[in-house]
Amino acid sequence: MTRKTFAFALIIAALAALMLPVAAKDTVIGSVWASTPVTIDGAIPEWNDVTPATDKASGGKYALKNDGMNLYIVMVLGDEVARSTILYTGMKIYVNAGAKKSKDAGILFMQKTLTPDELIASLEKKGDVVTEEKKTEIRKQKSYTVFIEEPVAAKKGAAAAAEPKPEPALFRMAMRGQAAVYEFKIPLSRVAPAGTVVQPGAPVKVGFEWGGMTNEIMKSIMAGRASSGSTARQSGGSSDSGFSDQSGDGGGGGADFSAYTHDKRYSKHVIWADVNLAAPAK
């Protein structure tokens, strides 16, 4: 290799290093003391006294409050694209004591539409006694919107939660104009090790995660392609639904979802923030 070639190679390597993504620092945000418990209903008047943080990638605005027992979170997503996959993936929230970023313990919040029989099965699974009279009443309605929470499974090798039945968290979502408002309540007892509670004034690490390509989304895309292809064959037209699958075989071969990985509707969103819990005024 000549000296000129070697120098050129060094320049290319330097430029490549400059183009590597640099991890952004996590947002630092303060929690506001909640003198009265926050009502989790998807309304935002109780949040008028806070200054929200903004996530540039999703456009989401979020703020936190706490009292001595619970952490309250509001997330507002005005961008329909940014929230397009939440119905498929739900939103995972991780809250860790201290400043350590960890996904070993968290809560998955999801909004689901259930048939009457699915709702009955869900209630019975939770241990509720559903009488025949109540079942009849439930079956009078075609469907139900439910808001559920469940623990995020710890990664392999992580210690299992010592508390078999943690205190319940709460979640609600409501549309306010063109924006979706998500409200959460997470007991502080689910942040600290079992049997202890993180105290007001302590630091915590909070993470939000939603979106990304899932098996359910892929099945939905495949179903849409199959339906579109069937309609096109019946009409003698093209089966192109507006999305390139890059399979090269007109949709008859194996599915290639590479074209969807750059579609913002299927982006995965991850936000981490360092939060100082509020303490009551002295």
Element (H, E) at 190: none
Helix, strand, or coil here: 51? coil
Q: Is the pLDDT of residue 274 over 80?
A: yes
- Other beta carbons within 10 angstroms of residue 180's beta carbon come to 20
pLDDT tens readout for residues 155-199: 655 555 555 577 899 999 999 999 999 999 999 988 877 667 789
What confidence tier does 14 reach under pLDDT thresholds 50, 70, 90? very low
**Whole-number pLDDT of residue 163:** 53
pLDDT tens readout for residues 36-95: 999 999 988 999 999 999 999 899 999 999 999 999 999 999 988 888 888 889 999 999
Structure tokens at 19: 């183009």
Whole-structure pTM value: 0.72
Do residues 84 and 210 touch, judged by C-beta distance below 8 A?
no
What confidence tier does 20 reach under pLDDT thresholds 50, 70, 90? very low
* Domains, the chain, ordered by start: 23-212+267-276 (2.60.40), 214-235+255-266 (no CATH)
Do residues 34 and 281 touch, judged by C-beta distance below 8 A?
no
- Other beta carbons within 10 angstroms of residue 197's beta carbon come to 16
Euclidean distance between CA atoms 106 and 96, whole angstroms? 8
Could you tell me the strand order of the sheet in which 203-211 lies?
27-30, 268-276, 203-211, 91-97, 107-114, 144-151
What is the full DSSP assignment across 34-50?
Answer: -SSPPP-SS--GGGTT-
Structure tokens at 132: 């025949």
How confident is the prediction for the chain on average, in pLDDT?
Answer: 77
pLDDT tens readout for residues 112-140: 999 999 999 989 988 889 999 999 999 99
